[in-house]
């Protein structure tokens, strides 16, 4: 959802992304996949949530 940019020096991403998942079934297993592409640090997820 957030494209990589080599000029982005932000230490964190604190934002809300709205995705239309109306064609998806809410029941079941949902997976969150992320990548930290910056070479000079280590990224991690503090928290996330899905709201239907």
pLDDT tens column, 1-43:
677 887 777 777 788 888 888 888 888 888 888 888 777 777 7
pLDDT band with cut points at 50, 70 and 90 for residue 47: confident
48 and 32 Cβ atoms separated by less than 8 Å: yes
pLDDT of 25 reads: 85
pTM of the full structure: 0.47
pLDDT of 35 reads: 81
Buried b (16+ CB within 10 A) or exposed e, 8-32: eeeeeeeeeeeeeeeeeeeeeeeee
pLDDT of 8 reads: 75
pLDDT of 10 reads: 73
Q: How far is CA 34 from the centre of its chain?
A: 6
């Amino acid at each position: 959802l957030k494209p990589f940019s080599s000029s982005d020096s932000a230490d964190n991403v604190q934002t809300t992304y709205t995705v239309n998942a109306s064609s998806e079934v809410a029941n079941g297993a949902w997976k969150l996949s992320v990548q930290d592409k910056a070479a000079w640090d280590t990224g991690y997820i503090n928290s996330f949530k899905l709201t239907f």
